[in-house]
Chain A
Amino acid sequence: MRIVCPFCGERELGEFTYLGDAKPVRPEAGASEDEVFDYVYLRDNVAGQTSEYWYHGGGCRAWLKLTRNTLTHEISSVEPAAGVGARQAVK
């Protein structure tokens, strides 16, 4: 598998580390235990397009958001994950 890092170009899988689903957004400080529980534990088991976090630890150390099809492994987009998991808007 190969990932086109937006900063480093096309690189081999071994340079990256997978974290997981990029859909959940971290709840704000006053959130209830249930909301945080959902954020920490609940994930969809998607057959098809998913968004997921990958870390380019063997390269630029950027966290990336990939759109990947779990059925074909096709990666349709790779973008910096800056602010993807944040409730607050980026300044």
Chain B
Amino acid sequence: MTSQSHRLTSGGLIDRSASLNFRFDGKAFSGFQGDTLASALIANGIKLVGRSFKYHRPRGILTSGSEEPNALVELRTGARREPNTKATTAELYEGLEAASQNRWPSLRHDVMSVNQLFAPIFVAGFYYKTFMWPAKFWEAIYEPAIRRAAGLGRAAGVADPDHYDKAWAHCDVLIAGSGPAGLAAALAAGRAGARVILCEEDFSLGGRLLSDGGTIDGVPAAEWLSRTLAKLADMPDVRIMPRTTLFGVYDGGTYGAIERVNDHLPSPPEHQVRQRLWRIVARRCVVAAGAIERPIVFAGNDTPGVMMASAMRTYIARYAATPAKRVALFTNNEDGWRTVETALGAGLQIAAVIDARPDISPAHRSLASKSAFPVLHGSVTGVDGGKDGVRKIAVSLTGDARAEVEADGLAVSGGWNPAVGLTSYHRGRPKWRDDIAAFVPDGAPPGMVAAGAANGDFGLSACLSQGFAAGAAAARDAGHSGKAGTAPVADDEAFSLTPLWHVAGKGKAFVDYQHDVTASDIELAQREGFESVEHLKRYTTLGMATDQGKTSNVAGLAIMAAVSGRSIPETGTTIYRPPYVPVAIGAFAGHHRDETFHATRLTPSHHWAVEQGAVFVDTGLWKRAQWYPRAGEKDWLDSVTREVKAVRGGVGFCDVSTLGKIDVHGPDAGAFLDRVYINTFSNLAVGKARYGLMLREDGMVYDDGTTSRLAEDHYFLTTTTAKAGLVMQHLEFCRQVLFPELDVQLTSVSDQWAQFSIAGPKTRDLLKEIVDPAEDLSNEGFPFMGAREVRLRGGLKARLFRISFSGEMAFEISVPARFGGAMARNLMLAGAPFGVTPYGTEALGVMRVEKGHIAGPELSGTTTAADLGLGKMMSTKKDYIGRVMAGRKALVAPDRQVVVGIKPTDKARRLRSGAHIIPKGQTPGPDNDQGYVTSVCFSPTSDQWIGLALVERGRERIGEIVHAHDPIRGEDYDVELCNPVFYDPDGGRQRG
């Protein structure tokens, strides 16, 4: 194990009593509780952590936060391996394993770094220009080669073993960020009595206070911080959420946040989730998300050891880890100098300060002379160094003079960019502020306001007062009038800056580190006409990497502005879009994966069917019994054939509770049904059922089902399983929006009734065992299409319908859903003497095809009533939904494809749906395609495969032999067009 050679002996917010072992690229190291992977690597003297995307250049750690473009690693191993994880935000834990990315065979000796030699061809628009021709080379050669050479980490390649959660939260005031502005806002809003949620992406609260210190209300920042957190903890309506990043802003005050619940552990504890996606509804939102320090673009600015000045302070002050022993600073502003103070305080050497401004403050001048380091007025033009870090820094001084500085670390500060993402997610464009040379929010989505550094006011005093005022105002706007008290105070800090974006020099000067976009790429894009920022972004890929250009976008715009002779605000920004940080797809899915992808609906007899060994099929959300295998049956066809024969020869039953069921009540119920069905229901006698067909307003068939009249003002309507919810919605639309004058009410009772179809010649024998003997079930007492309430043996009331889908003598019986399981068991008991056989949806389907009934495949949304052979049902005496459009010329054309039966000329042949119908002797093709096969089955009754098809002029062509062409399965065969009713065409059996 390597000792922590670059760890200060004291200080920092780390727990030195909790030593943690970890591995990077297989090598063992140690760090402390409170470290990030980045700070632990720095404490161990590691500077080289990755290779760049395109040129495979050695890269180090640039920042200390979620804006990090360089230090991306594969974290964890096996199924939990997560690529492109920022070392700067990954919390250290015992046993952590991380690997560098995009290098082979090793980080120090990377073969692909030869890409640097070919750099002249890897310029902006490289892919567009280079791999134009020959086209077929793209998939075979170019793309695989490029994919190997470029890229980031590797995905785990196996299913994620962890769970993710999704949750809602509601509050009055939502605060993004726990820096001085955020905490002041929380104090004010909390005291005023508002329900507050504060999200902080870091695992420690305090923001820059953790690194920069200061004095607040007369005490050191650390003390103020702990007192403030204690006060907030005492407020029951203030909820502080660390490890939680607010990543998106949506309509109506809805916000997205990702909580990394257990990312700081090797794996989540049992029954706990890895991450939780929050949807937070807030009346007001205070964005106190701070600002991001920006680099200056100069040659060699990506050398390991070049680091943002604020990040260097953070590593020294917060983590007691020293990125360098001898530090140089390159700054264009006052704030960068703080790093010098922090480094000196930690006993580090200052090699030099290179300040691009013409003048510096007297205080800094005296600091330089007291600490004996030179202040060079000029700019860094180059860095001598490599994978082992910075060695020498070349400086050009005012008036053509040059200097060299020996240092092993270079802190850079080009100023600060307010984090304008959240405030711009509703297509807002930030505005330019000259005094800080940065974009600041220009308005925000409704209910949101930015405060402190996020608003472009960087001083501690401004952060505290703005945050406090924003929190108090937000609470007031949300209706809380409690006293907020007074704002915390701090001394004002000066912030002066001379804009500097790019220093000309020899060698690559990186703007976007993560996508390897250089200053010269931007200049080239401008020369080639890609001047618009949106074009610039897509042509060079500037800002399109996983960091979304947090450190690069503004510098890129500034360089484009300079070369195109425009100002930065004239050049403008690209559109900001969520998420602010990458969010795992797993978190968006939450628990909606695998068997819990959607809710599951079980039929009332489900548990009984499980006991029977049924095979289930998913139909929408439902699990339905598909068939009931018995010992000795070799496949599903054996079982289904047995079930069909049992029904046709005796009696069987099937749970049909999945059908949609709607009670239609009211004096105008009949009139209402007349308007939604093509046929008439107002003249249906009480105690009778009728098949109904409804159209969409465009004239196509929408749904079908049987509707019964149970009383003068009460109909019971059924829908198909698939359309149950949609038909309810459609009928409510008709009732509420279109026909408000009708006195009618709709009640969905799909879940209230268990419904069974009982079919076969022995149905009446079975029913007599179930139904009270006083009920008349004879053909006269309960004729075909009869429907009424009956009393069962034992007193239970049920609804009985004499309807048949199978073509047999059949009834459907409805009992309250809680009796569904008992009904199935009773049918088995009572039916035993008659050989009762439960049947599944397959047998149901076979019998409906044998009977020529239409179902889902024929109700395709492109068929008319006439196509289905039901044109005669269309009433000419009333208006109904879809009537006028159904009469359009093309919808009544004589050459439409209509439902017809088919059977193969070779009786032994199996049919398959989807095959196309082609006239005999013609070559298959779109010009002579006359339709297709919709439904097929093996018919035990006909002892051969039969089917239904939609065929042009089919009804006029009964008896014609046509060709079935199935290019997907490579099958070609002849079929005969026939009457679609294969079984009992007179219907004598169902009426008997």
Contact = CB atoms under 8 A, between A and B. Distances in A.
B741 A63 contact: no
A2 B252 contact: yes
B733 A53 contact: yes
A86 B732 CA distance: 14
B740 A61 contact: no
A72 B254 CA distance: 15
A91 B742 CA distance: 9
Given A1-B252, A88-B741, 16 more contacts: A1-B250, A1-B251, A2-B254, A2-B281, A29-B879, A33-B887, A37-B885, A39-B697, A40-B698, A75-B252, A82-B740, A83-B737, A84-B737, A90-B740, A90-B741, A91-B741
A40 B881 CA distance: 11
Size bracket, chain A contacts: 35 or more
A77 interface: no
Interface in A8-34: 12, 17, 19, 26-27, 29, 31, 33
Interface residues of B, number: 28
A43 interface: no
B106 to A, nearest CB: 49
A26 B676 CA distance: 14
A55 B729 contact: yes
A74 B251 CA distance: 8
B254 A1 contact: yes
B741 A86 contact: yes
A68 B284 CA distance: 21
A41 B698 CA distance: 9
B992 interface: no
B884 A31 contact: yes
A57 B254 contact: no
A81 B251 CA distance: 23
A57 B737 contact: no
A27 B882 CA distance: 12
Interface string A60-91: 01110000000011110000111111101111
9 contacts: A2-B253, A12-B281, A33-B887, A33-B888, A36-B884, A80-B736, A81-B736, A83-B740, A86-B740
Contact of A19 (B254, B733, B888): B733
A57 B729 contact: yes
A81 B737 contact: yes
Please give me the 5 A-B residue pairs with the lowest Cβ-Cβ distance, nearest first: A2-B252, A29-B879, A83-B740, A1-B251, A36-B884
Interface in B716-741: 725, 728-729, 732-733, 736-741
Contacts of B879: 29
A55 B884 contact: no
B884 A33 contact: yes
B751 to A, nearest CB: 14
B250 A86 contact: no
A55 B729 CA distance: 8
Contact of A17 (B446, B729, B736, B885): B729
A37 B697 CA distance: 10
B885 A40 contact: yes
Interface of B: 168, 250-254, 281, 426, 446, 697-698, 725, 728-729, 732-733, 736-741, 878-879, 884-885, 887-888
Contacts of A90: 740-741
Nearest to A81: B737
Given A57-B729, A81-B736, A73 B251 contact: yes
A28 to B, nearest CB: 8
Given A40-B697, A61-B732, A63-B732, A86 B739 contact: yes
Interface centre among A19, A36, A57, by most chain B C-beta atoms within 10 angstroms, is: A36
A80 B20 CA distance: 62
A29 B887 CA distance: 14
A26 B736 contact: no
A88 B878 CA distance: 16
Contacts of A39: 697
A81 B187 CA distance: 44
Nearest to A14: B279
A86 B738 contact: yes
A71 B226 CA distance: 45
A82 B885 contact: no
A55 B740 contact: no
A86 B879 CA distance: 14
Nearest to A31: B884
Contacts of B446: 74
Contacts of B254: 1-2, 12
A73 B427 CA distance: 12
Contacts of A61: 728, 732
A88 B741 CA distance: 8
B733 A55 contact: yes
Contacts of A57: 725, 729
A26 B738 contact: yes
Nearest to B878: A29
Contacts of B725: 57
Contacts of A37: 885
Contacts of B732: 55, 61, 63
A41 B696 CA distance: 12
Contacts of A12: 168, 254, 281
A65 to B, nearest CB: 8
A7 to B, nearest CB: 12
Nearest to A68: B251
Nearest to B888: A33
